[in-house]
Amino acid sequence: MKFSSAAIVLLSSAYCANALVSGPRPHAVRSLQSSKLFSSAAASSNNLSVGNSVGLGRNGGDNVAASSNGVTDASKENYKVKYGPAITLGKLKINIFGAIFGVWEVFWGIFFWYPMLMLYALSRKISSVLPGDLLGKKIDPFRRIPINIGYTWGLLSFTLFRMWPKIEGMENLEALREVDENGKKKGLKPAMYVANHSSWMDIPFVCHVLGFQNYKFIAKAELKKVPILGRALMVAGHVMLDRTNRRSQMVAYKSGVQLMKDGVNLVTFPEGTRSKTGRLGSFKKGAFKMAQAVNAPIVPISIQYADRVQPLDYAFPAKISRNRPEAVVRVGKPISTEGKTDNDLLEEVWNTIADDLPESHKPAKDTPVGAN
């Protein structure tokens, strides 16, 4: 049905726009501070020739390794999630939970988030023709305000619907903590955050890790054509990349490098698309070059069971995140990019993420580390 498909696109656009620009801060981040702390993003399509070497966390059925954080717990792996009755519109399903969530997202998107975003865009445009360009050059040179607008929306949504994932490894980000000449702790230095991608929920989950920090996604250029979402991405200044256009790749590369020099974090899902099986796929290395250009560290993030919160064939989340199996976001130790070849860095990040994934998410034996 054309009408049903169009409705799904519009509703999902509002939801995905929220996911891409929101960064609600989880309880884990707040507790770390007190203790003293868009489907889909893509890397560039530069060619990469990497053999089928087996990663440390590769799945094969005969090398199941238990880990200290219990990601291979059989009760999680074998638990059958019941989503209840659902209707199908086009190719996507919506259950009762998702319908309520979708109505909420569309309401706030239409009457709060989008008007605020457009007001910001208008103010920025007016400011640009005035002497001094106050908003663009002085108040918000790196477009942080749209991130905070999305944060407010995401905070309300995730609190109301109990969508907070369990966050592990936030203490690893302390390695990025900057200290002034007097030994006083400051903020975190910019880094590239890299995660696996099996669900739209991966996007807001990574935002939780970043909290109030400024960040930009490396997103596919075709997302600019999606209603609402495309406008949100452009206003917020995310890095847009057309993987089929060499010029676009160069522009995105220069933009990403400059953002990191300016202290802005970058976020990428180097698989380039959501995994249809939930298993980790091959990585594209284009985005990694941005971090290497400024010697910025890479923070590996392993996201577990997000695809059970919102399966690939559901338009919206179908269950809360804090219910069996609980969605978990594991933040790894920052990986230095200095003195490493493209392929060595790619493989180290890929293996690190794979190691912290549950058995059902680990890559299959025949999965190459890199992809063209």
Q: Dump pLDDT digits (tens) for 233-265.
A: 999 999 999 988 999 999 999 999 999 999 999
pLDDT for residue 229 is more than 70: yes
Residue with the bigger pLDDT between 302 and 49: it is: 302
Give the residue-averaged pLDDT of 211-219: 91
Length of the chain: 372
Nearest to 72 by CA among 371, 335, 325: 325
Report whether 177 contacts 186 (CB < 8 A).
Answer: yes
Which pLDDT band holds residue 228 (cuts at 50, 70, 90)?
confident
Residue 347 CA to residue 296 CA, distance in Å, equals 17
Report H helices in 133-285: 145-160, 202-210, 229-236, 246-261
pLDDT at position 214 over 60: yes
Quick check: helix, strand or coil at residue 342? helix
The mean pLDDT of 335-357, rounded to a whole number, is 95
What is the model's pLDDT at position 5? 39
141-192 pLDDT tens trace: 899 999 888 877 888 888 999 988 999 999 999 999 998 888 888 899 999 9
Residue 43: pLDDT band by 50, 70, 90 thresholds? very low
The structure tokens listed for 124 are 């920025």
**264, 190 contact by CB (below 8 A):** yes
Of 299, 347, 43, nearest in space to 193 by CA: 299
Distance CA 269, CA 200 (A): 11
> What residues does each domain of the chain span?
26-83+163-361
Instruction: Spell out the CATH class of 26-83+163-361.
Output: alpha beta
Percent of the chain with pLDDT over 70: 80
Tokens 């997000």 found at: 306
Would you place residue 371 in the very low, low, confident or very high pLDDT band (cuts 50, 70, 90)?
Answer: confident
Question: Which one has a higher pLDDT value, 302 or 114?
Answer: 302
Q: Within 10 A of 180 (CB to CB), how many other CB atoms are there?
A: 8
Across 1-10, b (16+ Cβ under 10 Å) vs e yields eeeeeeebbe
Please report, to the nearest 10 degrees, the dihedral formed by the alpha carbons of residues 241, 243, 247, 249 taken in order.
60
| pLDDT top residue among 309 and 80 | 309
pLDDT of residue 22: 52
Instruction: Report the alpha-carbon distance of residue 211 to residue 22 in Å, rounded.
Output: 9
Q: Which two tokens stand for residue 83?
A: 């989503």
Top-ranked range on mean pLDDT: pick from 28-32, 109-113, 278-282, 321-325: 278-282
Q: What is the DSSP secondary structure assignment for residue 170, as one 8-state letter?
A: G
The answer to whether the CB of 342 falls within 8 A of the CB of 255 is no
Contact predicate 166/329, CB 8 Å: yes
Whole-structure pTM value: 0.81
Phi and psi, residue 112, nearest 5°: -130, -65
